Amino acid sequence: MNLPLFRQHPFWQQRRHFYTAMLWIAIFTAGFVTGHLQSGISAQYGGSDVLPPANADQLFAPFWETYNLIQKDYVEKPDEDVLVNGAIKGMIDALDDQYSGYVEPELFPFVSGSLSGSVEGIGAVVSEIEETGEVEIVNVLEGTPAQEAGILEGDVFVSINGEDVTGMTYLDVVSRVRGPAGSTVDLVLRRGDDLIEISVERALIEIPNIETAVYEDSIGYVKLLQFTGEARTQIDEAIATFDSATLDGLIIDLRGNPGGFLDSAIEVTSLLIENGPVLYEQFGDDTELTFDADGTAIDLDVPVVLLIDERSASASEIVAGAWQDEGVATLIGVTSFGKGTVQKQVELTNGGGIRLTIARWLRPNREWIHGIGVTPDIAVEWTAEEREANPDADPQLEAALEFLLEQREPVQ
């Protein structure tokens, strides 16, 4: 059974909550995503336990006192659904966990989709700025309504359909921006010191999950955007298109990949690892699960480079950590995001949903990368300023090509 890290088992500088935003590319664009994802890692479950705990009478007495007092004496008749939603949200918020959250019933259908490669939205990726709690645009996808409407990276949300977003989480924001294709969302965005009013017609956005190329006639290149259920099959098919007789090296690009399904992460990790553990999961009750390579490693007799950056998160970090520990690939780029937790997603009986952190995961060397990330073997910076100044340059890819060309056997 496929479970989304969210657990198919998606994972959920001025350090932004970038993974969180990228996981919820699912909301604006495709579905962490991520991860978060997930990612993020993510596990999707249904059917939460509706029975009260054994000590419920004493434990929840103050709750029911408050609820009944509001119902009896509050100056205006309360909306019971609002009270219930507020109570659930308060419990989740009390965990103080950026990867756990509650989505109200009317919004849950817009955030509960799988990593399917298409979504109804505007085509923008968002991030929560840790210092201010504001939500900003960090990526605008090519050919999408967001791009056509003139939305830019760095735009900060002020209001959505007339509703002030102050105090909203990234999850609140994205669940309001996404919606049925053909419908319109009215945004007020802050751009520098200016407020920009933009109306965007949502659309069905198809997101290709894999890109391939051949460099220097002999270096294969495969970029994976998300860890969907088909990711390993897509990578295998991409590699099969390369001429094995002339292939001198392979580049797997996980830059900007926010994660996805745990099953998919294990399948992709198993591409280069024949056997043994690829990660461990540790739960709150001190139990531990070991996930081994699935025995589907390919016979690839060329050096491999894995590209990672600060946006590579969760499932991407499972692959990066395991391949680095096993010495089967050389990591080039910058330190990855650092999300070492697993979430599950549960639909509640009221139609709302909860995403809840349930475990931490460790790489094969038993290191927990949370808040630390995976450090590349060869560090190559590529700042946002450099990208903006010269968008056609890619020093990390250039470094990977240079490294692999140096590994070529000399012609006799």
Catalytic residue, from 263, 339, 344, 394: name it: 339
pLDDT the model gives residue 36: 28
Catalytic residue check, 172: no
Catalytic residue check, 314: yes
What is d(CA 197, CA 175) in angstroms, rounded to the nearest whole number? 19
pLDDT the model gives residue 266: 96
Run means of pLDDT, 10 residues per run, the chain, 412 residues: 40 34 33 31 52 87 94 93 94 89 81 65 80 82 90 93 89 85 96 95 87 95 92 97 94 91 95 97 95 96 96 94 98 95 90 91 97 97 84 94 87 52
What is d(CA 288, CA 282) in angstroms, rounded to the nearest whole number? 5
For residue range 294-323, what is the model confidence (pLDDT) as tens digits?
999 999 999 999 999 988 989 999 999 999
What is d(CA 341, CA 139) in angstroms, rounded to the nearest whole number? 24
pLDDT the model gives residue 139: 73
Tell me the average pLDDT of the chain: 84
For residue range 150-201, what is the model confidence (pLDDT) as tens digits?
999 889 999 999 999 998 877 788 889 988 999 999 999 999 999 999 999 9
What's the CATH number for 210-339+361-406? 3.90.226.10
pLDDT the model gives residue 94: 94
Q: Which residues pair with 273 in a beta bridge?
A: none
Residues whose CB falls within 8 Å of the CB of residue 398, separated by 6 or more in sequence, listed in order: none
Catalytic residue, from 100, 264, 314, 336: name it: 314
CB count, 10 Å around CB of 282? 17
* H/E segment holding residue 333: strand 330-333
pLDDT the model gives residue 409: 64
Catalytic residue, from 155, 172, 263, 325: name it: 325
DSSP 409: P
Catalytic residue check, 286: no
pLDDT the model gives residue 213: 96
